[in-house]
Amino acid sequence: MKQLIDKKYLLPAATIVMLLVCYRFAFRNTIEEWRLNNKLKIELLQASDLSYQPDFMGRKGRNLSIILNSFKVDTASFRVAVVNQIASIGQQENVRLAEVPAQEAIHHTDHFIIQRLKLEGDFFSLLKVLHKLEDADHTGFLRTVEIKAVKQHTAKGEFQELVMEIAVEIVKR
């Protein structure tokens, strides 16, 4: 039988096939990962330098405006709107709006108004109302919350009632 392939060509052909297999399975992936690494390093350097992010301050300003707008209320109708909204939230949880004290001049500034309110009900209902007020938009920002037991004197006798006093702050438009 005559040999079909000459032995002197077999070693270079096997070497070329092995190089192609190595390139396909090892070297090509390594080179792609090296290029990706260099690209990510450049992006990281650009991201850490604010001069390459010209719209960064604009985005930051828009985000702050969105947050502040959730606490802005029309000051002319603030008292009526907030009292009605808080009363309706309280009514859903069997909490009644006990008192809306007159606004004090000390709580008014050029940019903010603070309104105090008193709510009465059981402890868990007061907490549910508090949670809903924190999530509600355009009711203002809750500055202080105080829950206390108050003794009530009536014709039937003396009993304690839970009262939650809140201070709501709004941003003037």
Q: Give the orientation angle of helix 78-92 with respect to helix 123-135, to 10 degrees.
A: 130
Mean pLDDT of the chain: 81
Top-confidence residue, 147 or 151: 147
101: confidence class by pLDDT, cuts 50, 70, 90: confident
Cα radius of gyration rounded to whole Å, the chain: 35
SS3 of the chain: helix, strand, coil, percent, to 5: 50, 25, 20
Looking at residue 1, its pLDDT comes to 46
Percentage, residues of the chain above pLDDT 90: 17
Does residue 101 sit in helix, strand or coil? coil
Per-residue pLDDT averaged across 30-55, rounded?
Answer: 81
21: confidence class by pLDDT, cuts 50, 70, 90: confident
Most confident listed range (17-21, 74-78, 169-173): 17-21
Q: Is the CATH code 3.40.190.10 the one for domain 72-172?
A: no
Tokens matching residue 144: 């202080």
Looking at residue 157, its pLDDT comes to 78
Q: How far apart are CA 62 and CA 73, in angstroms?
A: 18
Backbone angles phi, psi at 74, to 5 degrees: -65, 120
Per-residue pLDDT averaged across 17-26, rounded?
Answer: 85
Looking at residue 52, its pLDDT comes to 60
Q: Does position 3 have pLDDT exceeding 80, yes or no?
A: no
Tokens matching residue 43: 């992006």
Beta strands, E only, 2-140:
72-73, 96-99, 112-120
